[in-house]
Amino acid sequence: MVGPVRPQFVLFGSSIVQLSFSNGGWGAILADVYARKADILLRGYYGWNSRRAVEVLDHVFPKDAATQPSLIITYFGGNDSMGPHPSGLGPHVPLNEYIEHMRKIAIHLKSLSDSTRLIFLTCPPVDEDRVSKNTSEFFSHLIRTNELCQKYSEACVKLCLELDVKVVDLFTAFQRRDNWTADCFTDGVHLSAEGSKIVVAEILKVLKEAEWQPSLHWKAMPTEFSEDSPYDLVAADGKTTLNPSEWTFHRAIQWD
């Protein structure tokens, strides 16, 4: 551990999380937005479903940890919602079981501390044509349909409303964008930079609107070592310095 200790934001989920620092991913964007404000910790597991997540909850999020996360953003559902394989193997989880797993995850994460906040991300849609064309010879036939994605997404939203957990409906958010099938994915399932921008915008909207104390929206959080310094760059007047701790002009998108 290095200091000073900052609030911890943990990203927990399957490949949508593990790859969130790749290809201009949403985890990398959040790390930039929250630079000098919070540490973004990645706990993503490629190919996992909610069954495996429940099995490791106590290991990833021990209740007796000295420091608990301020925010946990959780995503499972894309693999659960795949159609079942005749062998019984594979990531498919029946809808009712998926709901109960997500309930267990939410209850466990809520119990970590009174100040730990949660956001769940729902299953996004997929580009069905590209998924079918890109299936590797190493895989058995993969069943990914938007009909299934929608059912699992809607179930996640309903559960979050029941448990008072903030939720981002990615299934709906992606489809608000024109040409979403072409723009939002690298392979029909995993997110491109454009898809990740949608995820970030939706997460920041939740954080801005949430009536949490303290607020976890980046503009409301203190910046580490933000005091003025004579070692900062000298201003044009030659007499004062410019404090760069809040500069954001390097960002292609000025996030709200």
Q: What is the pLDDT of residues 205-214, one digit of tens each?
A: 999 999 999 9
Active site residues: 14, 187, 190
User: What pLDDT, on a 0 to 100 scale, did the predictor assign at position 183?
Assistant: 96
User: What pLDDT, on a 0 to 100 scale, did the predictor assign at position 135?
Assistant: 62
Instruction: Name the pTM for this structure.
Output: 0.95
User: What pLDDT, on a 0 to 100 scale, did the predictor assign at position 138?
Assistant: 46
User: What pLDDT, on a 0 to 100 scale, did the predictor assign at position 142?
Assistant: 66
Q: What is the pLDDT of residues 105-118, one digit of tens each?
A: 999 999 999 999 99
The low-confidence residues of the chain, meaning pLDDT below 50, are 138
Domains in the chain, please, with CATH? Answer: 8-229 (3.40.50.1110)
Please state, as a whole number, how many other Cβ atoms lie within 10 Å of the Cβ of residue 238.
6
Q: Which residue has the tokens 């996992």?
A: 48
pLDDT-above-90 percentage for the chain: 88
Cα separation of 117 and 165, whole Å?
A: 8
Q: What is the pLDDT of residues 139-170, one digit of tens each?
A: 556 688 999 999 999 999 999 999 999 999 99
Exposure class string for 8-24: b at 16+ Cβ within 10 A, else e: bbbbbbbbbbbbbbeee
